[in-house]
């Protein structure tokens, strides 16, 4: 079942690449007590994700923060090293926190998965965006397969 507006993000561990190596990030701590703009992409370095989705959040980071967002985070079914390299190549460092869901456990717990097998990608997280306020989903925008509109930074910005 897909997570719904008004529900709490499940307590799980995601991974963030740091200068000291991969570090576990507990979702309860990460989302607790603040407002986070969270978005999910099917995969780092994939066409729409790299050309439009992540760049939109990088470009709109200051505007999102001006509307009360404390942090912008991206999750994907990729490892922390891939997400770190993607953030660096996209100029997202310091603007978007990359949270690796390497095994897809977070995507499955949220009920927001897609099957990318026909593209050689296996099970992935679907494309979506959300506002998570003190651990609770207050806005959720899930894309139809192959679409990119309601999960964009611009769309999320208009919801704040």
Active site residues: 49
Report CA-CA distances (Å) from 112 to 21, 52, 62, 128, 142: 28, 20, 27, 8, 8
Rounded to an integer, what distance in angstroms lies between the CA atom of residue 132 and that of residue 124?
21
Burial classification of residue 85, based on how many CB atoms lie within 10 Å of its CB (0-12 exposed, 13-18 middle, 19 or more buried): middle
């Amino acid at each position: 079942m897909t997570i719904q507006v008004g529900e709490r993000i499940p307590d799980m561990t995601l991974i963030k690449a740091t200068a000291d190596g991969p570090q576990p990030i507990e979702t309860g701590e990460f989302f607790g007590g603040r407002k986070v703009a969270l978005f999910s992409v099917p995969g780092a370095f994939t066409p729409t994700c790299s050309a439009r989705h992540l760049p939109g959040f990088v470009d709109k980071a200051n505007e999102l923060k001006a509307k009360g967002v404390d942090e912008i985070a991206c999750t994907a079914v990729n490892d922390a090293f891939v997400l770190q390299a993607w953030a660096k190549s996209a100029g997202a460092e310091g603007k978007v926190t990359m949270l690796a869901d390497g095994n897809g456990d977070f995507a499955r717990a949220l009920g927001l998965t897609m099957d990318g097998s026909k593209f050689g990608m296996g099970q992935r997280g679907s494309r979506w965006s959300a506002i998570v306020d003190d651990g609770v989903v207050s806005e959720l925008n899930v894309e139809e397969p192959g679409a990119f509109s309601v999960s964009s930074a611009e769309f999320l910005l208009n919801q704040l």
